[in-house]
Amino acid sequence: MTKADASGAAAGTLTGGPRRRRVRAAVPLPLLLPGAVALVFLLLPLVALLVRAPWSSLPSLLTSTEVWQALQLSLVCATAATAVSLVLGVPLAWLLARTEFPGRGFVRALVTLPLVLPPVVGGVALLLALGRNGVVGQWLDAWFGITLPFTTAGVVVAESFVAMPFLVISVEGTLRAADPRYEEAATTLGASRFTAFRRVTLPLIAPGIAAGSVLAWARALGEFGATITFAGNFPGRTQTMPLAVYLALQNDPDAAIALSLVLLTVSIAVLAALRDRWMTAS
């Protein structure tokens, strides 16, 4: 009856082979219809992006200095933010997974807060904390002459703030699933707890760390709200891809589409990289 139904049946005969006669229980309409609408709703914008893409002028658009600058800045900042998240986030994940301290549940809730916090609010909060007159920022300015807002470093700070929770949650989950007795075995062999972590636990949870890093990197690459609030929108300095897309949409829609295609490609690549982790349920 619907298009989805028809294609589903077609797929069934294609993959099922001639001898496999599946008795299909009737799919209830109240589930099928909204489900199909949801699928179309999710896919349609992406299809539109591909349909309207200025394919012929794409190479020249993507090689313009402005786009190139934004792309470069985005890659550098997202990678730096991932590095910051790794250096600080993996130890935090270990503390949450392997130690007992009062209020641990509360701390974990706080860590996940940036996941659900509107990024703009995050940006405002960062300004109040690390801005020139911020709670900590004023001292950074006065003592070390460090100003973070509206600098490239500020972009990294904003992206780290948003991306680190993804890494922490992912790594903590992997740590919880890993057998802590390997660490015990290491300590009976004379390894300190840190050595056990470095030489045994870290290699064992490497896949989880890799997945968390990819996730954090993708999140940092697409970060918009916190970045524009905390770091502003200066081409070449703080204007990352999402910001450039937003700006380009006002005066050069084709450039915006081209930039969006780049980000879409990156997203698909991330999905492909993580397919073993999250796509196996199907």
Partner 1 sequence: MTNSHPTAADGPQPPHEPPAPADPAQPPHEPPAAADGAQPPQGPPAPDTDSRTGGAGGNPNPAEGRVPTTHPHPTTHGLHTHLVVTRPTFHLDITLTAAPGEVVALLGPNGAGKTTALRALAGLTPLTAGHLRLDGTELDRTPPESRPVGVVFQDYLLFPHLTALDNVAFGPRCHGATKAEARTQAAAWLDRMGLAEHAGVKPRRLSGGQAQRVALARALATRPRLLLLDEPLAALDARTRLDVRSQLRRHLAEFEAVAVLVTHDPLDAMVLADRLIVIEHGKVVQEGTPADIARRPRTDYIAHLVGLNLYRGRAEGHMVKLDTGPAITTTEDLAGDVFVAFPPSAVTLFRDRPTGASARNLWRCEVSGLETHGDQIRADLTGELPLAADLTTVAAAELDLHPGAPVWATVKATQTHAYPA
The smaller minimum CB distance to partner 1, of residues 171 and 257, is found at 171
Name the residue nearer to partner 1 (CB basis): 39 or 185.
185
Nearer to partner 1, 52 or 199 (CB): 199
Minimum CB distance to partner 1, residue 151 (Å): 40
Residues 63-94: b if buried by 16+ CB within 10 A, e if exposed: eeebbebbbebbeebbbbbbebbbeebbebbb
Helix segments in 140-224, DSSP class H: 152-177, 181-188, 193-196, 202-204, 206-222
Shortest distance in whole angstroms from residue 210 CB to partner 1: 14
Which pair of tokens denotes residue 248? Answer: 């380009």
Residues that bind partner 1 (CB under 8 A): 179, 181-182, 184-193, 195, 199-200, 203-204
Whichever of 175 and 231 has its CB closer to partner 1, that residue is 175
Cβ at position 185, least distance to partner 1 in Å: 4
Nearer to partner 1, 5 or 184 (CB): 184
CB 131 within 8 A of CB 124: no
Shortest distance (Å) from residue 180 CB to partner 1: 10
Rounded to a whole number of angstroms, the minimum distance from the CB of residue 179 to partner 1 is 8
- Which of 43/189 has CB closer to partner 1? 189
Under a CB-based contact definition with an 8 Å cutoff, are residues 92 and 175 in contact? no
Cα 255 from Cα 53, distance rounded (Å): 9
CB of 91 to partner 1, least distance (A): 20
Which of 203, 201, 215, 210 is CA-nearest to residue 164? 215
